[in-house]
Amino acid sequence: MSSHEMGPTDASPDPSATGSPRRRSRWTDVLLTACGVFVLTVFLMIASAFSPNGGFLMRFFDRHGTTMLAVEVGAILLLAIIVLSVERRESRRRISEREAALLESEGLVEGAREASRSGREPPSTSASDPF
């Protein structure tokens, strides 16, 4: 089946139908950076452990390695909680906007149905309407 033969349920949603494209929050970027620092720290610890002349790096990780990992894991956990709460709030806001739009469109559809049954004009949706 080619792309122009696909039905509405087969294709991905149109960006105009779903609103503006989602952007990653700044907190997510901070979390990803902290995870990257953690991975880099672990790789450096492994490299210094297997290096025959680790020198300064090996001594530094012997003294402060556990503390560094603990601080990094704590930061990752804290940032993950922040990201989850920010994303939850954003998701709830988007859901409420979509519900309001659906209820508004349902109200317009119901108003048009009632108008067609009674022979009246459907309710106006112009920008000059104050309500």
Is residue 7 domain-resident?
A: no
Q: What is the pLDDT of residue 108?
A: 72
What are the tens digits of pLDDT across the range 20-55?
Answer: 667 888 999 999 999 999 999 999 999 998 888 878
Q: What is the pTM of this model?
A: 0.62
Regions of the chain short of the pLDDT cut 50 = 1-17, 131
Closest CA to 35 of 1, 85, 86, 69: 69
Q: What is the pLDDT of residue 5?
A: 47
The token duo for 11 is: 């294709």
Closest CA to 83 of 20, 25, 18, 19: 25
| Range of the structural domain that residue 83 is part of | 24-118
Is residue 109 domain-resident?
A: yes
Output the average pLDDT for the chain.
79
Domains of the chain: total: 1
- One-letter identity of residue 20: S
Q: Tokens 């709830």 belong to which residue?
A: 92
Q: Cα separation of 84 and 107, whole Å?
A: 34
Is residue 75 domain-resident?
A: yes
- One-letter identity of residue 4: H
Is residue 47 domain-resident?
A: yes
